[in-house]
A and B are shown apart, each in its own frame.
Chain A
């Protein structure tokens, strides 16, 4: 899995969320920090070998709120990754909990490691 410079057709400015990517023998686990993004504003899609994570942050702001100071100045997140072909994008599992997205992308059956028996002749 690698990150691509391809930008989505929708080129609205967006923040790049920090991620952790961990690989084990069964697949890849990706964690992304998406604070403020509710489940219905999270958009995950895989197109060919491109995985796009997009989300819109929703804050409950009272009427007449004027910002004094902002470190998060864009209420959108976007990040794009290129999947390698041993990953199976049809079996991606996603969980969103306390603003952290956890994606599990398993490896295709044929790409899982196998132990090869050595026969002594």
Chain B
């Protein structure tokens, strides 16, 4: 909202505009919508042995983070409390951009993900979930008799 009236970083502004335009012109978005600009932001990558998910969720008490895996669908949910003062306090809020409230993000894991090989760590505001790929799905060399 402030960005419209007071452009600051032109590249960041262009980036935001690009996302907005993409959102309005994407005729076949993912069934779970476009998470871009949402909270937490997600990065997903993989190696031959694992799937690595990074959820950028700063300012969350790790004990309240709820990570669920149900039939190949992973859900990351939680709540971020507001740090803004209550309205009656003698303070004024000049910029209010950070997310607050409950959040939930859902993603589908690949078929070879092993539900028993999941580990999650929260460090510096990033939740890193590592899911092992099933051993039987690993590439292997077959010896010729």
Real complex partners, A and B?
A: yes
Binding site for B on A (CB under 8 A): 1, 3-5, 7, 13, 15-16, 18-25, 28, 31, 33-38, 57-72, 79, 97-100
Q: Which residues of B contact A7 (CB under 8 A)?
A: 9
Docked CA distance A37–B124 (Å): 6
Total interface residues in chain B, CB < 8 Å: 51
- With contacts A35-B57, A59-B128 known, is A16 near B8, CB below 8 A? yes
Interface of A is mostly: loop
The contact of A71 among B8, B43, B59, by CB within 8 Å, is: B43
- With contacts A34-B125, A68-B44 known, is A21 near B93, CB below 8 A? yes
Say yes or no: A31 contacts B98, CB within 8 Å: yes
Q: Which residues of B contact A65 (CB under 8 A)?
A: 45-47, 52
Say yes or no: A98 contacts B43, CB within 8 Å: no
Binding site for A on B (CB under 8 A): 6-12, 35-36, 38, 40-50, 52, 54, 56-62, 83-85, 89-99, 122-126, 128, 130
Docked CA distance A58–B125 (Å): 11
Query: What are 17 A-B interface contacts by the 8 Å CB criterion?
Result: A19-B95, A22-B94, A24-B90, A35-B41, A36-B125, A57-B126, A59-B43, A62-B52, A63-B47, A64-B47, A65-B47, A66-B46, A70-B45, A71-B35, A71-B41, A98-B59, A98-B122
Docked CA distance A67–B128 (Å): 14
Say yes or no: B95 contacts A21, CB within 8 Å: yes
Q: Which residues of B contact A13 (CB under 8 A)?
A: 11
Q: Which chain A residue shows the least CB distance to B125?
A: A99
Task: Give min CB distance, B53 to chain A, whole Å.
Answer: 10
